Amino acid sequence: MSTLSPTRPSLAPYESYPLQDMLKRAVQRDGSKTAVIDGDRTFTFRELDALSDKFASALAAEGVSKGDHIGLLAPNCVEFVIAFYGIIKVGAVATTINSGYREREIAHQLNDSAAQTLIVHQALVEMADAAQDMAKGVTKRIVIEPESNNAGTFWGLIESAPSAIPSVTVNPKEDLVALPYSSGTTGLSKGVMLTHHNLTSNVRQLNDRSEQGVIRQDDVILVHLPLFHIYGMEILMNGSIGAGATQIMMGRFDIEEFLKLMSNHKVTMLFTAPPVGLGLSQYPGVANYDLSALRVGFIGAAPLSADLQGRIQDKVGFSIIQGYGMTEASPLTNADFMEPDMQRMGSIGTAVPDTEQKVVDLEDDTKEVGVNEIGELMLRGPQVMKGYYNNAQATADTLTEDGWLHTGDIVRMDSDRYVYVLDRKKELIKYKGFQVPP
């Protein structure tokens, strides 16, 4: 039996619009509100929109056009946000690259994605040099130098950009906006084709639920998870922009700095992964920081036991809820409830609005298993990817003809459709909450 979550009302119909319009709408709501704080630099929504407009103009002047794939290799910083929105405003596709990749992995993604332009942070230039030697298709490179506006650099291009903003027509349900790479259910890294409609729909599924555990306009979000990963890109960056919330950038994780940023900026909502939650539960210095502004912590990217969930909650003093998703689903598909009478510890919760889910036999995906029986989770909804880039076989192996996505996760589902993740069907090593092929 595959049905929509009975506990979450439908949000349909879903408006179909370009992702960049989400930033324009944030400006219309309150353009003077702080959008991003990055160290001692602060940017309003109006400034973020104007700077990404300028970067889009600069890209167009450099010959970038609709449908081009642009590599983005940078740690968490405001330039990442500006670059991402500038890329999509010119109609190009952002292929975000793991900043922890080695040269060959970067080269593989640049080659496989057919990227011709690479935007790279100065801290990663040496790695990019070696990767570009192996990725012959990249003909243009733009270096992010936060303290410099020299000609040809990121800020230099923005400063000298033409005033005319590129006019691009977008088909939100067909045109790609992002091409992140994922191991999926196998160890081969593949480009996940995500459309404008995929990402705008998932932001709505995240923020428009009639529950307490959603991002609100008055929230302050600490962006410590990598923006190159779909969790950081969509839930933290796009989710915050969609809600009109403030993002606090954190480039490199350190637990003392993490706690200091949460305390100093009065962070209200924490999105994180189990290793950080475990670290918080064990770190003796947590009590030295004022975390009273935090109302909820959302943990995803890997399963969390009921015991650890409870220990983290006891240590930090605010509610901890679990969620679930995957790059191929933009990523959010499940979330538990913040409301105590609806929360089930150890569960990833029920499906987000307008997401169908079923648990199927591990050997025969045409047969659904019964309540609390073990099987593979499959799902379908507006957030599910278009397919894998230039990989028809992997797409056919993962997506059925009628739109059902194989998650590769072994789960059980109780009578109220709460899902519990038990294992992987094809096991990949989890490192800091992210998949690494054996």
- Chain-centroid distance of CA 39 in Å reads 22
DSSP string, 274-293: HHHHHHHHH-GGGGGS--TT
Residue 303 belongs to some domain of the structure: yes
This prediction's pTM: 0.94
Residue 317 belongs to some domain of the structure: yes
Helix (H, G, I), strand (E, B) or coil at 317: coil
Q: What is the pLDDT of residue 18?
A: 99
DSSP 338: S
219 contacts 245 by C-beta, under 8 angstroms: yes
CATH code: domain of residue 108: 3.40.50.980
Residue 223 belongs to some domain of the structure: yes
Residue 37 belongs to some domain of the structure: no
132 contacts 65 by C-beta, under 8 angstroms: no
Of 153, 169, 185, the residue that ends a domain is: 169
Residue 305 belongs to some domain of the structure: yes
Residue 259 belongs to some domain of the structure: yes
Do 159 and 286 share a domain, yes or no? Answer: no
Do 150 and 287 share a domain, yes or no? Answer: no
Do 344 and 383 share a domain, yes or no? Answer: yes
233 contacts 22 by C-beta, under 8 angstroms: no
Do 106 and 7 share a domain, yes or no? Answer: no
The Cα 220–Cα 34 span in angstroms is 10
Do 88 and 116 share a domain, yes or no? Answer: yes
354 contacts 211 by C-beta, under 8 angstroms: no
State the amino acid at position 309 in one-letter form. Q
Residue 325 belongs to some domain of the structure: yes
CATH code: domain of residue 352: 3.40.50.12780
pLDDT one digit per residue (tens) for the chain, 438 residues: 455 556 789 999 999 999 999 999 999 999 999 999 999 999 999 999 999 999 999 999 999 999 999 999 999 999 999 999 999 999 999 999 999 999 999 999 999 999 999 999 999 999 999 999 998 899 999 999 998 888 899 999 999 999 888 899 999 999 999 999 997 555 668 999 999 999 999 999 999 998 888 999 999 999 999 999 999 999 999 999 999 999 999 999 999 999 999 999 999 999 999 999 889 889 999 999 999 999 999 998 888 888 888 888 888 888 899 999 999 999 999 999 988 889 899 999 999 999 999 999 999 999 999 999 999 999 999 999 999 999 999 999 999 999 999 999 999 999 999 999 998 876 545 555 654 544
The residue range of the domain holding 346 is 3-13+177-436
Q: What is the pLDDT of residue 425?
A: 75
Do 294 and 311 share a domain, yes or no? Answer: yes
The Cα 379–Cα 381 span in angstroms is 7
Q: What is the pLDDT of residue 149?
A: 87
161 contacts 169 by C-beta, under 8 angstroms: no
Q: What is the pLDDT of residue 437?
A: 47
120 contacts 74 by C-beta, under 8 angstroms: yes
Do 187 and 142 share a domain, yes or no? Answer: no
263: Cα within 13 Å, side-chain hemisphere: 13
DSSP string, 214-229: S--TT-EEEE-S-TTS
Do 59 and 204 share a domain, yes or no? Answer: no
Count: domains in the chain: 2
Of 169, 194, 217, the residue that ends a domain is: 169
Do 358 and 228 share a domain, yes or no? Answer: yes
Which residue in the block uniquely carries the two structure tokens 């324009």?
24
The Cα 261–Cα 248 span in angstroms is 8
Of 119, 134, 169, the residue that ends a domain is: 169
The Cα 292–Cα 309 span in angstroms is 19
